Amino acid sequence: MLNCNYNVKFLEDMPSFYKDILLYFSELKALFGSAQYEDTILFNNQATLIDGKPFFYKDWLLKGIYFIQDLLDKDGNFLQFESFRNKYSPASSNFLQYFSL
């Protein structure tokens, strides 16, 4: 969780003690810089929302999809959906799920 670009407002069911710790940690990360967008973790990320909420796809995680760079080709462009499926073949991914990002 500490490597994610989270926002505590999306952590509704978490006890306030842990929310406070995560809030302070995010403030520290902001003071000391952040990673390039390619190194940004996809999941629990306030910058990659679906329907206004962070998302998590377990099957993507199990296939090794962690970072935004995992969705990019060698030129830095987003993979075409067919290339994405050929590279990772996540079982539950469909066209709409991929393009919702």
pLDDT at 37 over 60: no
The reply to whether 3 falls in a domain is no
pLDDT at 51 over 60: yes
The reply to whether 1 falls in a domain is no
As beta bridge partners, residue 54 has 49
pLDDT at 31 over 70: no
pLDDT at 101 over 60: yes
3-class SS letters over the chain: CCCCCCCHHHCCCCCHHHHHHHHHHHHHHHHCCCCCHHHCECCCCCCCEECCEECCCHHHHHCCCCEHHHHECCCCCECCHHHHHHHHCCCCCCHHHHHCC
The reply to whether 51 falls in a domain is yes
Containing structural domain, residue 84: 8-99
Close Cβ partners of 49 (under 8 Å, ≥ 6 residues apart) = 55
The reply to whether 71 falls in a domain is yes
pLDDT at 81 over 80: yes
Domain total of the chain: 1
pLDDT at 2 over 70: no
